[in-house]
Amino acid sequence: MLHRFSGAFVRRTIDRSRARVPEHTHDWPLLSFFVIGAYSSQTDIGEEFISGPSAVLYAAGAAHRNTAGPEGFEQIEIEFDPAWLRSARLPDGPVSRWIGGLGGAAAKSLARFCSENVTEKLLLVALRRFLEATRFEFRARRPDWLDDITRRLRDDPSRRVSELARSAGLHPSWLGTAYRRATGEGLMNTTARFRVERAARLLRETDLPLAYIATDAGFCDQSHMIRTFRRVLGRLPSAVREDKEHFRQMSDVLMI
């Protein structure tokens, strides 16, 4: 638990690689912000695989289940009393998703904000602003080249922008802008996140030494890994290693 207030509480939830979280509901609406990793979200409105800046709002009582990706999944959750928001209006329907774009970028900022030492008043203002700013956001069609660019980056985060642009038949300067608009984060932010995701899984699920993990995840050295963890997660690798004691505790979580 990160914060507990009169009408809301904020927690960090971490699932190990390929964990299955059975169908469940919440008494209050739940807003989940992506941090690192990937997961499949399965609800009454269908299934969506999420692997980048995003937010999902589950209405009170809306059933959902998740399956974590191969690097696990970390999220920030805000569960809140609707009356606590006062005049703020919640979206209609059991589930609302903001994936990439302005909504994803706003979700990424709010997730980082929630990890800090926030007050109840500041959290209330930030959450109301997020809901208002994303209320009428149009979800654009996913660019045809996006999945290939993202796959290439995940396979080799050291790839140059010029190489990525050439593979997609795009101009390098245009690719960076278009990628940020589509995903909610820049190309360099994505490459840093991919390295952190790889390292975080090894820290949480193995006892390998930090020096080995830094090299395996594509960092220049441990110092480079530490700086990147601070920038992406706001935490040190040593703190992330302790997460193995705090995986989501549910008696019926299954591993595949």
- Phi first, then psi: what are they for 134, rounded to 5°? -100, 5
Residues 113 and 11: their CA atoms lie apart, in Å, by: 12
Whether the domain at 3-139 and the domain at 146-245 fall into the same CATH topology: no
CB 21 within 8 A of CB 15: yes
Which two tokens mark 174? 């245009």
- Paired tokens of 203: 């820290």
| 19 alpha carbon, distance to own chain's centre | 16
Consecutive H or E run containing 81: none
What is the largest distance, in Å, between two alpha-carbon atoms of the chain?
A: 53
Q: Which pTM does this prediction carry? A: 0.92
Query: Does domain 3-139 fall into CATH 3.40.50.10600?
Result: no
DSSP state of 142: P
CA atoms of 86 and 94, how far apart (whole Å):
20
The span from the CA of 120 to the CA of 78, in Å, is: 12
Give the orientation angle of helix 172-183 with respect to helix 101-114, to 10 degrees. 70
Three-class SS of residue 80? strand
CA distance 237 to 222: 9
CATH class of 146-245: mainly alpha
At 87 the pLDDT is 76
Domain boundaries, the chain: 3-139, 146-245
Residue 92 is encoded by which pair of tokens? 């209609």
In the chain, which residue ranges form alpha helices assigned H by DSSP? 101-114, 120-133, 146-155, 161-168, 172-183, 187-205, 210-216, 222-232, 237-241
Residues of the chain with pLDDT under 50: 250-256
Residue with tokens 């909610």: 184
DSSP state of 113: H
Predicted local confidence at residue 141, as pLDDT: 81
